[in-house]
Structure 1
Amino acid sequence: MKILLVAALLCALPLSNAMCAALEAPRGDVVLTVTGHIDNTNAGNTAAFDIAMLQTLAGRRAIMETPWTNGATEFDGPYLKAVLDAAGAHGKTLRIKALNDYAADVPVEDATDYETILALKMNGKPMSVRDKGPLFMIYPFDKNHELYNEKYFSRSVWQIKEIEVVD
């Protein structure tokens, strides 16, 4: 009883919300796993997300040109920051891993300083693996043209399967 009372009191503190947030178990196929320095787990020591879970997170729809698409393309998905918040992530670097084992190290500031999204849809349609899906990290090239360079292109991982949060 004392343990429950202490846990309830700790969860009432603003600084402890990330530790106390419950992360539901995915009901569909897992498309993203967040590992490493996280507080909210639902599959062992990881935070697993299916498409439905990702669609409930805050995000944006944006139309922009990218080096990987022809002309103006619409992308839609949750903010990277929203995914990290849901997992209770804390670290300095994100190791974004693709299905083909390509990985890019991305500073956490790219999630907090920019409206970076994990696109689930391109031109209104879910992205297949063949079309860079199921998740494609998209920087806000439409809002910040200074991001349109090789530095951010190399961090724009597609076919994302995992985000490892490291120090």
Structure 2
Amino acid sequence: MKKIIFVLAIGVAFVSCKNDKKTTEKEVDVTVEDTSKDMAYASFGMEINDADALSSDRMMELYKTMKPGDTLNSKMTAKIVEVCSKKGCWMTLDMDGENEVMVKFKDYGFFMPLNAEGDVVVNGKAYVSETSVDELRHYAEDAGKTKEEIEAITEPKRTYSFEADGVLLKQ
């Protein structure tokens, strides 16, 4: 009898520890210029094209209207800032000279060349996350920052991210 109760308690503990995050998807009606020309691209992931891709400036405007937890199916063009130097499993894109977007690839299904640079078209889901002041201060403390640097953190940090299912790298 004790074994059955123990097994049931373990089962209840596993089920109750589930951590679901709710997200909302937003549909936005956007008119886009078709700037596709006869350009050569290297394709990674799902097969996509460059038609109807938003400019990085226009996409940044949409990012700024999003709240943490929102997602937006989109396609955009931007310039590569950096690619993961170990496997090519992520990249950062310049959006407007001030903001960058961290791009990861859906289910680690594909990677970018380590030396990738230039313009890309990415297709997938854009989303925003926010790191609280307490968490940022904790990270700063762990990094060995001074008390003054830690106390200077007074605002949460918004992170713009993108999960790409397909990428075109301009050649």
Coarse TM-score class (shorter-chain normalised): under 0.3
Normalised to the residue count of structure 1, the TM-score between the two structures is: 0.27
Look at both structures and tell me which one has the larger radius of gyration over its CA atoms.
2
Normalised to the residue count of structure 2, the TM-score between the two structures is: 0.27
